Structure 1
């Protein structure tokens, strides 16, 4: 048994994806592999078929990463996403007989081994940490909205008025060069992590996210997240993975 597998029972997780109330098709995909210490949420873009294909390819490829220690697995994960970026950006776009040439997906992935974690992302799917009654957003959106906030010192409300505020500045397959953000950090007993697509977090306030993640189990936390999100307009697909140490 690998070191990863032997430690897997320390982590409990629950995952769910839903089309929502408006979309005809679910372009999200997720991976829930506590036995590997690996969780992923991918939110496809580029039209229904293209987006669903991109997110599914990401999840399928990450599901078969080779075993190894944390550093080795992180290298493998990054290499896999860079390979997929080339594949989605070149091969599939060139050969696809589709009216919309865009084929891509956001990704947020979490690796865990013992008391260490690494979050890797591109796009605006997010990773949150709920620790000792406080909610932390660990990932930083790769979107025009965030860029306007950072570079022009606009408030979130001012930046949101831009007509392309939610356009992505990074995604798998969106451009020839892919830059991934990576955050490595320690985890402690009782920590709860949330990976989710923008359809979920845009439906909920930070207080609501925190209240749900404070639930006594990962399955109950997930249920509360979806119950509250589905009470709203729910115009986008919803995906979430809740992990607790």
Structure 2
């Protein structure tokens, strides 16, 4: 488990402002995204939703965003299964020490992958799956995890940073020096996932990707989103919305994606330390 010095004890008397939105978009006829927020809210199958609330920093919270593979059979079912299973892991994650989170999230990914494969087998289909991002907040520190190309961003001191690393064919080509970032942006390969829940037919387990822990200092914002946002909005667009608005942030980001074309479902969860 990665080590982070100190507890954000100065924030434990503060709060986390959570904002969420999911939208079908301007083109698709149904919503294949799902989300899960701390035992309070889970996406109602296929609907568009929006909301925000505050909760104290002194407890542990679990947040997740899941993007069903667009155009595949049962993508919306796969993302709903992944969200449902994270809810079942909520109590264990809340009770666990920080150094146990990696192993629990690895178990979660293995079980979510197996559950999606079982669902596909029941429907005689080999096409379906879901990405996932998850953030566990414990003692004022955020622990981010992901598989696929749904993203996690950090906004701090006026700067937006992408802290996840897309698991796509395009990103592998960029990492290997075969394609530039400019060539990868919007290319066919940018939509080809190399890892997702429902992909590991050997059931050997997927490798959960881990970001460095983030101390939630006052003003820090973490954002999770499906690619319906990141494909439509540049980092500058996202930073502008986060910097200019303290309320309904997720809704404003989703609206910006729809305004720019809304070619896919879009789901956004923001977490701001206050």
1:95 correspondence with 2:122: yes
Is the CA contact (8 Å cut-off) linking 2:146 and 2:164 kept in structure 1? yes
Separation in 2 of the partners of 1:183 and 1:57? 24
Question: Residues 148 and 48 from structure 1, CA distance in 2 versus in 1: closer, same or farther, beyond 3 angstroms?
Answer: closer
Q: 1:237 aligns with which of 265, 269, 272?
A: 265
Q: 1:13 aligns with which of 18, 27, 41?
A: 18
Is the CA contact (8 Å cut-off) linking 1:93 and 1:103 kept in structure 2? yes
Is the CA contact (8 Å cut-off) linking 1:214 and 1:221 kept in structure 2? no
Separation in 1 of the partners of 2:214 and 2:186? 37
Is the CA contact (8 Å cut-off) linking 2:20 and 2:251 kept in structure 1? no
SS in structure 2 at match of 1:165? helix
Give the structure 1 partner of residue 223 of structure 2: 194
Question: Residues 118 and 239 from structure 1, CA distance in 2 versus in 1: closer, same or farther, beyond 3 angstroms?
Answer: same
Is the CA contact (8 Å cut-off) linking 2:133 and 2:146 kept in structure 1? yes
Q: How many pairs were matched up?
A: 235
SS in structure 1 at match of 2:262? coil
| RMSD of aligned residue pairs (Cα, Å) | 2.1
Question: Residues 92 and 22 from structure 1, CA distance in 2 versus in 1: closer, same or farther, beyond 3 angstroms?
Answer: same
Question: Residues 43 and 231 from structure 1, CA distance in 2 versus in 1: closer, same or farther, beyond 3 angstroms?
Answer: same
Is the CA contact (8 Å cut-off) linking 1:21 and 1:233 kept in structure 2? yes
Shift of residue 93, structure 1, vs aligned partner = 2.3
Separation in 2 of the partners of 1:222 and 1:32? 13
Q: 1:222 aligns with which of 250, 253, 259?
A: 250
Is the CA contact (8 Å cut-off) linking 1:46 and 1:104 kept in structure 2? no
Separation in 2 of the partners of 1:83 and 1:180? 12
Q: What CA deviation, in whole Å up to 9, does each residue of 1:164-191 have, x standing for no partner?
A: 3320001011123411111232321210
Shift of residue 84, structure 1, vs aligned partner = 1.4
Separation in 1 of the partners of 2:240 and 2:79? 29
Q: After superposition, where does 1:142-161 map in structure 2 within 5 Å?
A: 142-160=167-185
Q: Return the TM-score normalized by structure 1.
A: 0.88
1:62 correspondence with 2:86: yes
Q: 1:83 aligns with which of 111, 115, 118?
A: 111
Q: 2:63 aligns with which of 39, 60, 63?
A: 39
